[in-house]
Amino acid sequence: MWDQWWLWLGIPAAILLAGLTTAALLRLKVVGKQLPLEKAKHLFHLRREWLEARFFTIAASSGKPRGLAWIDCDFEDDVSFARDRGSGQLRAFVGVTIRFAAIEGGGMETNDNVGRLRAATSVFLLKGDEWHTQGRAIFNLSPGQAIAHFREELEVVE
């Protein structure tokens, strides 16, 4: 049995090596498909109006926050860009001011804070050569604060 020790070590080592090679090749494939930063920024600015409208539509239909309807969303001019440390995916962060109204029967009609404007950060994602949004809003954080808050996942790009 021990005269074939190389089998006991060789097979797991070969499997590990194959897994690491596959992971490295997939990482290179993802990195190789990324747009240059300047082109990605340019595409974001070209599609920005559409992206903002799409963000509002998705966020307003999400049912969050519970008991509130999205009434208006005012986007700031500045955009902050960050890259996901794991996937390399580029993200854009834009500050927003959101106005809500209580939904009748939603339990928020008597809450005095409903009418107050809320600061948040809207998140946009670059997939291939197209910008997308999932309607994600990070409340109570500016774009810079949101990136800093998720610094384990994100790195600032300029």
For residues 157 and 83, the answer to whether their CB atoms sit within 8 Å is yes
**Residues 6 or more apart whose Cβ sits within 8 Å of residue 67:** 102, 103, 106, 107, 108
Start-end of H helices in the chain: 5-33, 37-60, 143-149
C-alpha closest to that of 44 among 88, 73, 82, 72: 82
Please tell me the predicted confidence (pLDDT) of residue 23. 58
Mean pLDDT computed over 26-38: 63
Bridge partners, residue 144, by sequence: none
State if pTM tops 0.95.
Answer: no
For residues 63 and 120, the answer to whether their CB atoms sit within 8 Å is no
Neighbours of 55 (CB within 10 A): 23
Using 50, 70 and 90 to split pLDDT, how confident is the model at 29?
very low
Please tell me the predicted confidence (pLDDT) of residue 105. 78
Q: What is the pLDDT of residues 82-134, one digit of tens each?
A: 999 999 999 999 999 999 988 887 776 777 667 789 999 999 999 999 999 99
**How far is Cα 101 from Cα 98, in angstroms, rounded to an integer?**
10
For residues 124 and 132, the answer to whether their CB atoms sit within 8 Å is yes
